Structure 1
Amino acid sequence: MKELKYIIVTLLISVPCLLYSQNIVYKPINPFFGGETFNYQQLLASANAQNDFEEDNGFDFDQGSDLENFTDSLNRQLLSSLSQDLFQQEFGDTSLTEGTYVFGSLVVEISPSTDGLSVNILDTSTGEQTNIIIPN
C-alpha cells in the first residue's frame, strides 16, 4: 500500500512538469490601441454607418445680399463707436478706476484682486454674470 502511495504522489508531482502550454497573445484590431494601421478605414466606415446623429455646427453659410451685409457692418461700427464714447465719458482717458457703474440693465463692478484688476459685469434683467480679470 505504501508503494502505491509513493507511485501516486510521484505521478502527481511529475505530470504537471510534463505538461506545458503556450502564451496567450492578444492582438488588438483598433489602430489607436496598437492594432494594424490598415484597419483604420474599415473601422471608420463602420462607425460612420452606425452613426445616426447629424452634426449641427452652427454655421450659416447664407451670406445674404450686399445691402444686408453693409447694413450689418454699419450697425456693428455704430454700436462700437457708441460703446467707445460711453467708455470715454465714464472713465476718461485714464485707466479703469475702482467702483460700481450702471449702464441700463448692466452693473459693472471694478475692484482690485490678487491676480490683477477684476471687472465683474452683471445683467440684472437676465441674471447673467461675467468676470474679467486684467492682469497687472
Structure 2
Amino acid sequence: MKNFLLVVYFTAGLLSHTLAQSFVYHPNNPSFGGNNPLNYSAMLNAAQAQDRNKDPATLTTSRASATTTNSLTNFAQSLQNQLLSRISSSLIGNQFGEGTLRPGTYTFGNFQVQITNGSDGVVLRIVDGQGGETSITIPYF
C-alpha cells in the first residue's frame, strides 16, 4: 500500500509538472504600460487631464489680443469691410449692368485699386498697404 501511494504521488507530481505553464504577467491597463502600443491616446488624455500648469506663452498672447481688440477697432474693420463690399458690387454692377467701368487708379483707405482694359476683359489690380497684391480679371461677354 505504501508503494502504491508512493507511485500515485510520484505520477501525480510528474503529470502536474508536465501540464503546468509558466505564468507571465501582461498588464492590460494602459496606465501601467499595457501590452498594446496603440494605447498612447489613453496615456495622453490621462496626462492632459491631470496637467494644471498653464503655458505662459498662451497667457500673454490671449492678454495681448484682448487689449488690442476693442469696439472702436471692430467698428473700423466693419466699416472698411462694408465699404469694400459696396465698391466691389458697384464695380461688378457697372461692368455687367448699364454703366461702364472707367479705367484709372482709385484709393480706398489702405487699398489701391487699378482698373485697366485688357485683351481678355477688365483687369482689377488691388494692392493693400502691407505689400499684398491681388489681380482679378472680369471677362468680356
In the superposition, the TM-score normalised over structure 1's length comes to 0.36
Instruction: Please tell me whether Structure 1 or Structure 2 has the larger radius of gyration of its CA atoms.
Output: 2
In the superposition, the TM-score normalised over structure 2's length comes to 0.35
